[in-house]
Structure 1
Amino acid sequence: MAMTASARSSSGILENLGGFFRKFFFRILSVGPIPTHVAFIMDGNRRYAKKQNLSLEAGYRAGTLSLISILKYCYELRIHYVSIYAFSIDNFRRRPHEVKLVMDLLQEKLQAILDDQTILHSYGIRVLFIGDLKLLNDSLRVLAEEVESATANNNNFVFNICISYTSTNEIVRAVYECCREKKVMENDPIDYNVSVEDLEKHMDMGICPEPDILIRTSGEARLSNFFLWQTTYCYLYSPAALWPEISLRHLVWAVLNFQRIHPYLENQKKKQMKKMKMEKEE
Structure 2
Amino acid sequence: MLRRGWTWLQNKITTKARNFVLKVLAAGPIPRHVGFVMDGNRRYARVHHKAVWQGHSDGFVALRRILEVCLRLDVKCVSAFAFSIENFKRSEDEVNALMKIAEEKLIELSSHGDLLEEYGVRLNIVGRKELLPEAVQKAVAKAEEMTRHNDRAILNLCMPYTSRDEIVTAVESCVRNAEDMPDEIRISEDDIDAQLMTTLGGSPPLDVLVRTSGVKRLSDFLLWQGCENTQLQFSDSYWPDFGLLDFIPIILDYQRKVWTRTIS
In the superposition, the TM-score normalised over structure 2's length comes to 0.92
- C-alpha distance after superposition, 1:149-177 (max 9, x if no partner): 11100112211100011000000000000
Counterparts of residues 227-246 of structure 1 (less than 5 Å):
227-232=222-227, 233-246=229-242
Deviation at residue 231 of structure 1 after TM alignment: 1.2
- Distance in 2 between residues matched to 1:267 and 1:130, nearest whole Å: 37
Deviation at residue 199 of structure 1 after TM alignment: 1.1
Moved more, 133-142 or 151-160: 133-142
- Aligned pair partner of 1:215 in 210, 215, 218: 210
User: Structure 1 residues 122 and 30 mapped into 2: Cα distance closer, same or farther (>3 Å)?
Assistant: closer
- Distance in 1 between residues matched to 2:219 and 2:117, nearest whole Å: 33
Task: Give the paired residue count.
Answer: 260
The reply to whether residue 260 of structure 1 matches residue 253 of structure 2 is: no
- Distance in 1 between residues matched to 2:260 and 2:96, nearest whole Å: 44
Structure 1 counterpart of 2:55: 59
Structure 2 counterpart of 1:201: 194
- Distance in 1 between residues matched to 2:225 and 2:151, nearest whole Å: 22
User: Structure 1 residues 266 and 214 mapped into 2: Cα distance closer, same or farther (>3 Å)?
Assistant: farther
- Aligned pair partner of 1:128 in 124, 130, 141: 124
Structure 1 counterpart of 2:108: 112
In structure 2, the gaps of 5 or more residues are: none
- C-alpha distance after superposition, 1:213-258 (max 9, x if no partner): 1111001111100000011221111111111111111111110011
Structure 2 counterpart of 1:154: 150
Which amino acid in 2 is paired with 1:128? N
Moved more, 174-183 or 28-37: 28-37
Structure 2 counterpart of 1:82: 78
- Distance in 1 between residues matched to 2:118 and 2:234, nearest whole Å: 33
Deviation at residue 112 of structure 1 after TM alignment: 3.2
Which amino acid in 2 is paired with 1:17? I
- C-alpha distance after superposition, 1:191-223 (max 9, x if no partner): 342121111111001120122111110011111
- Distance in 2 between residues matched to 1:124 and 1:156, nearest whole Å: 5
In the superposition, the TM-score normalised over structure 1's length comes to 0.86
Percent of aligned pairs with the same amino acid: 33
Structure 2 counterpart of 1:274: none
The answer on whether the counterparts of 2:103 and 2:136 sit within 8 Å (CA) in structure 1 is: yes
Structure 2 counterpart of 1:6: 2
- Distance in 2 between residues matched to 1:265 and 1:88, nearest whole Å: 34
- Distance in 2 between residues matched to 1:124 and 1:191, nearest whole Å: 44
Which structure: larger Rg? Answer: 1
- Distance in 2 between residues matched to 1:213 and 1:222, nearest whole Å: 14
Which amino acid in 2 is paired with 1:198? D
Deviation at residue 142 of structure 1 after TM alignment: 2.2
Structure 2 counterpart of 1:145: 141
Counterparts of residues 36-75 of structure 1 (less than 5 Å):
36-75=32-71
- Distance in 2 between residues matched to 1:175 and 1:152, nearest whole Å: 26
Structure 2 counterpart of 1:35: 31
Give secondary structure in 1 for the equivalent of 2:123.
strand
| Cα RMSD, aligned residues only | 2.0
Deviation at residue 110 of structure 1 after TM alignment: 2.0
Structure 2 counterpart of 1:273: none
In structure 1, the gaps of 5 or more residues are: 269-282
- Aligned pair partner of 1:191 in 184, 197, 200: 184
